[in-house]
């Protein structure tokens, strides 16, 4: 008869899974190895606990030599089986390339970004994709869900087109995926900051990541020669992401500091590489800062940082990210430059020259025909139309000293609000921050009348603007809170004042808007 197992062995032998000879007071193995020979602690095991988990209790039902077939038992089955929750597996759950393969695919044009990103781009980012509990695209990242938030929620908010991918997805994202850990932290920081606007739980993560990116950027600039720093597109990308972070966060002077730093990098780049063509990443980063500069200057009326070289007055193709054409931005740039000389035109000849220039800019705007390559892209066409209307309104206020009581201003404001009302009804309010701002600060409080919208319901101008700002809060990467704050302050000033010019000859825009709008981003 086979010898059965005993339960009186020592703890050391039991732990090592070897047979104990059970000699007292110390077994042979513990004596030879110098181990303390203590009996194994007794643990009570309850059969009901094992059965509730669908497990056999002890050796019940296990075959042994001394057992007959009748002794074999089947473990008791629990009434309800509990299965471990597994994540859904989709075709895009697998990342079957490394950074080198991704770079090769990107350079060949066969694939720009991972499958999940590409699928979202192919549907045109018409709506932000929801976060899921599926496996992350990049499980090696410390905060992979933030990268997914950037892809699914931030990128779709940076383009006016429902059919064309944002450069933040098609240009910047592939570069970051092939770049250093710092650029990955930068897009995660932006994702966390954007997410924190609706979920404050991410504020700490956003600040931690931003601090790390700033530290890495400072180290890169301080420990490398200027010709190395200026040639590295990663520097401009980091500054761009930090600038966007500050715009979304509080829209203070921080983003302007990054713009000034980017200007210096771009100057050094042109000095060290005077004849080289910019790569796509560098070209977009430069466009980003130049456009932010122009749109922000319309509010604060300060001198430009980047100059007119980025704006071809003959390029009428609407850019999906800007929501307008370079030709329209060129006109805006001319308005800004000329408005700065308005108060300097004292003599009659100077005033006549000013009027001629203003008339020429107005003619350029009237003759402008912005082109949307895809006629079916309604959202991009609407964004371009809104910006053109806002540009006409801004021209009258800046160059012709118009105010909210001026018939031309009243007409343009109503055109903008009518278009905005229609877009809100169709949930197509994209890239409209600047147009909303210009119309809002020039809305006449004495003529905020009700008029029927496309659905037949009555609309009040101020209520419509607040509704539009609320919609933009969930569909844009901008500082809606600060923009709304400035608009409300202008409304309060108008409610308690009039439209007369100040003693130093400021027009209505310079008197009511400019003092409140330093470092305001309107992109």
Residue with the bigger pLDDT between 31 and 391: it is 391
Look up residue 336 and give its two tokens.
């800004």
Cβ-count burial 106-125 (b if 16+ within 10 Å, e if not): beeeebbbbbbbeebbeebb
| Alpha-carbon gap, residue 214 to 458, rounded angstroms | 49
CA dihedral of 137, 206, 185, 231, whole degrees rounded to 10:
140
Give 287-325 pLDDT, tens digit per residue: 999 999 999 999 999 989 999 999 999 999 999 999 999
Smallest CA-to-CA distance from 342 within 351, 333, 332 is with 351
| Alpha-carbon gap, residue 441 to 513, rounded angstroms | 7
| Predicted local distance difference test score (pLDDT) of residue 346 | 80
| Predicted local distance difference test score (pLDDT) of residue 181 | 92
| Alpha-carbon gap, residue 283 to 263, rounded angstroms | 13
Look up residue 353 and give its two tokens.
């020259």
| Predicted local distance difference test score (pLDDT) of residue 139 | 43
Residue with tokens 């299965």: 83
Give 128-143 pLDDT, tens digit per residue: 444 444 444 444 455 6
Burial of 153 (0-12, 13-18, 19+ CB in 10 A): buried
Give the best-scoring range by mean pLDDT among 63-67, 170-174, 278-282, 455-459: 170-174
- What residue ranges do the domains of the chain occupy? 7-52, 143-310, 313-522
Query: What percent helix, strand, coil does the chain show, rounded to 5?
Result: 60, 0, 40
* Helix, strand or coil, per DSSP, at residue 450: strand
| Alpha-carbon gap, residue 367 to 105, rounded angstroms | 43
| pTM of the entire predicted model | 0.73
Give 434-481 pLDDT, tens digit per residue: 999 999 999 998 877 766 666 667 778 898 999 999 988 888 888 899
Q: Is omega for the bond preceding 246 within 30 degrees of 0, making it cis?
A: no
- The fold of 7-52 is CD2-Gal4 (4.10.240)
Give 80-124 pLDDT, tens digit per residue: 445 544 444 444 334 443 444 444 444 544 344 444 444 433 333
- Position 511 pLDDT exceeds 50: yes
| Predicted local distance difference test score (pLDDT) of residue 452 | 66
Look up residue 150 and give its two tokens.
């950037």
Q: Percent of the chain scored above 70 by pLDDT?
A: 75
Smallest CA-to-CA distance from 512 within 445, 503, 492, 522 is with 492
| Predicted local distance difference test score (pLDDT) of residue 496 | 82
| Three-state DSSP string of 461-492 | HHHHHHHHHHHHHCCCCCCHHHHHHHHHHHHH
Name, in order, each residue with C-beta under 8 angstroms of 166's C-beta and a sequence gap of 6 or more.
125, 155, 156, 158, 159, 320, 321
| Alpha-carbon gap, residue 171 to 112, rounded angstroms | 8
């Amino acid at each position: 008869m086979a010898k059965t197992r005993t339960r009186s062995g020592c703890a050391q032998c039991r732990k090592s899974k070897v047979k104990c000879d059970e000699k007292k007071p110390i077994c042979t193995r513990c004596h030879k190895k110098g181990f303390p020979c203590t009996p194994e602690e007794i643990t009570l095991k309850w059969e009901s606990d094992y059965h509730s988990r669908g497990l056999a209790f002890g050796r019940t039902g296990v075959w042994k030599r001394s057992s007959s077939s009748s002794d074999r038992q089947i473990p008791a089955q629990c009434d309800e089986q509990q299965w471990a929750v597994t994540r859904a597996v989709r075709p895009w759950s697998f990342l079957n390339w490394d950074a080198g393969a991704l770079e090769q695919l990107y350079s060949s044009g066969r694939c720009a970004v991972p499958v999940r990103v590409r699928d979202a781009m192919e549907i045109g980012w018409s709506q932000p994709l929801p976060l899921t509990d599926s496996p992350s695209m990049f499980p090696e990242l410390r905060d992979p869900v933030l990268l997914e938030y950037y892809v699914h929620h931030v990128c779709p908010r940076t383009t006016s087109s429902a059919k064309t991918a944002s450069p933040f997805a098609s240009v910047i994202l592939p570069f970051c995926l092939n770049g250093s850990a710092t650029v990955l932290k930068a897009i995660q920081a932006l994702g966390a900051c954007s997410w924190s606007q609706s979920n404050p739980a991410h504020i700490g993560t956003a600040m931690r990541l931003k601090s790390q990116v700033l530290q890495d950027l400072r180290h890169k600039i301080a420990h490398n020669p200027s010709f190395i720093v200026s040639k590295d597109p990663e520097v401009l990308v980091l500054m761009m992401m930090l600038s966007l972070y500050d715009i979304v966060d509080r829209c203070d002077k921080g983003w302007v500091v990054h713009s000034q730093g980017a200007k210096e990098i771009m100057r050094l780049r042109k000095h060290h590489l005077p004849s080289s063509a910019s790569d796509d990443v560098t070209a977009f980063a430069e466009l980003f800062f130049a456009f932010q500069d122009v749109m922000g200057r319309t509010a604060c009326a300060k001198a430009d940082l980047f100059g007119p070289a980025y704006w071809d007055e003959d390029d009428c193709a609407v850019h999906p990210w800007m929501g307008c054409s370079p030709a329209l931005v060129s006109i805006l740039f001319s308005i800004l430059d000329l408005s700065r000389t308005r108060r300097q035109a004292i003599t009659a000849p100077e005033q006549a020259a000013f009027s001629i220039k203003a008339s020429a800019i107005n003619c350029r705007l009237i003759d402008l025909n912005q082109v949307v390559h895809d006629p079916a892209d309604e959202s991009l066409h609407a964004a371009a139309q809104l910006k053109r209307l806002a540009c006409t309104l801004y021209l009258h206020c800046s160059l012709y000293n118009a105010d909210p009581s001026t018939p031309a201003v009243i007409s343009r404001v109503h055109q903008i609000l009518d278009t905005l009302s229609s877009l809100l009804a169709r949930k197509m309010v994209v890239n409209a921050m600047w147009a909303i701002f210009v119309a809002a600060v020039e809305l006449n409080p004495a003529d905020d009348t009700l008029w029927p919208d496309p659905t037949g319901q009555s609309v009040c101008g101020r209520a419509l603007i607040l509704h539009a700002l609320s919609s933009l809060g969930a569909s844009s990467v901008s500082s809606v809170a600060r923009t709304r704050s400035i608009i409300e302050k202008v409304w309060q000033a108008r409610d308690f004042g009039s439209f007369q010019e100040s003693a130093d000859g400021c027009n209505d825009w310079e008197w009511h808007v400019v003092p409140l709008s330093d470092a305001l981003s309107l992109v």
